[in-house]
Amino acid sequence: MAEPKWLKDMNPDEYLKEDFDATGKTKYTVEGIDKDDPNWLDKAAKKVNAAEGDDYVKLDAGLLTVNQINWMLRNTIGEMTFVDSNNQFLWYNRPTDPNKKMLAKRTPDQVGDTMKAVHPDVRDVIPDAKKVVHALRTKEGGHDDVYMPVPTGNLKKLVLHYYKRVEDDEGNYAGIYEWVQDLYPLVKYFCETTGQKLVIDDDATTGATYRRNSDPDAATGASTKAAEVKEEKHEEPDTTTGASQH
């Protein structure tokens, strides 16, 4: 994935210290259960007598049942993940369709796993993941989020990984929220309704730019050419991040 310069320049002597074995604990760590147990979720939920189903949960700006929260999150655009401050993978918004191909593959048996367990130890995946985690833990350079586009050479697949530092009410680091989405459907709609198109621009920092469509009807958003894009055949790189299948 394409790293921002400030992240690329981080000191490896610092970020490689991130404990991806999750040997520590947080205020909310459920102890006494192997983190990499494929049945961690059921065992941990039983141990803490967790709310479920039609049980109500009082949020800071709402009252919902566990079922309602699950339904909403399953149908939210994009793939979401939460990893706590101890580098334990605790949640993802599981797709309703179990056969849906995910951009960042995750499975129910991974919930509770350490970050080391959910990342394949290939192609510097773990060091790169440690870099992102450490950057957000320490707010490196004043940043509390990281945008990581996945270069594909194809304007019809615009995959973005977004990582956001999560803080508690006192501003302490509580973990990372990750959001993964193919932005192309959104960009396509934007182009169709604004009369613009996305084209390769060799002079642009991002490699792509918006241009006003020459179609005289484009200003009205009615142009049939507005979503026109140039596409290149290109083998896609491995986009596995966040939480990957064993």
CA distances from 151 to 18, 120, 128, 204, 237 (A): 27, 20, 16, 14, 8
Q: Greater confidence, 230 or 152?
A: 152
- Whether 217 has a pLDDT exceeding 70, the answer reads no
pLDDT score, position 225: 38
Confidence grade of residue 126 (pLDDT, cut at 50, 70, 90): very high
**Torsion on CA atoms 165, 169, 174, 175, rounded to nearest 10:** -30
Mean pLDDT across the chain, nearest whole number?
84
Kindly list the structural domains of the chain, giving each domain's residue range(s) and its CATH number in brackets, ordered by start.
5-182 (3.30.450.20), 183-232 (no CATH)
pLDDT score, position 243: 45
Query: What are 172-214's pLDDT values in tens digits?
Result: 999 999 999 999 999 999 999 999 888 777 665 555 554 555 4
Q: Greater confidence, 223 or 149?
A: 149
pLDDT score, position 57: 97
pLDDT score, position 27: 95
- Whether 90 has a pLDDT exceeding 70, the answer reads yes
Of 65-69, 112-116, 200-204, which range is least confident?
200-204
Of 101-110, 147-156, 200-209, which range is least confident?
200-209
Confidence grade of residue 215 (pLDDT, cut at 50, 70, 90): very low
| Percent of the chain with pLDDT strictly greater than 90 | 63
What phi, psi does 187 have (nearest 5°)? Answer: -65, -40
Of 10-14, 40-44, 147-151, 153-157, which range is least confident?
153-157
Instruction: List all residues 6 or more positions away from 113 whose beta carbon is below 8 Å from its beta carbon.
Output: 35, 36, 40, 88, 89, 243
* Tokens 């019809």, residue located: 156
Query: What are 28-53's pLDDT values in tens digits?
Result: 999 999 999 999 999 999 999 999 99
What phi, psi does 94 have (nearest 5°)? Answer: -60, 130
Average pLDDT of the residues in 13-22: 95
- Whether 233 has a pLDDT exceeding 90, the answer reads no
pTM of this prediction exceeds 0.75: yes
Average pLDDT of the residues in 131-159: 92
Confidence grade of residue 2 (pLDDT, cut at 50, 70, 90): confident
Confidence grade of residue 144 (pLDDT, cut at 50, 70, 90): very high
pLDDT score, position 212: 54
Query: How far apart, in whole angstroms, are the C-alpha atoms of residue 40 and residue 116?
Result: 16
Average pLDDT of the residues in 65-76: 95
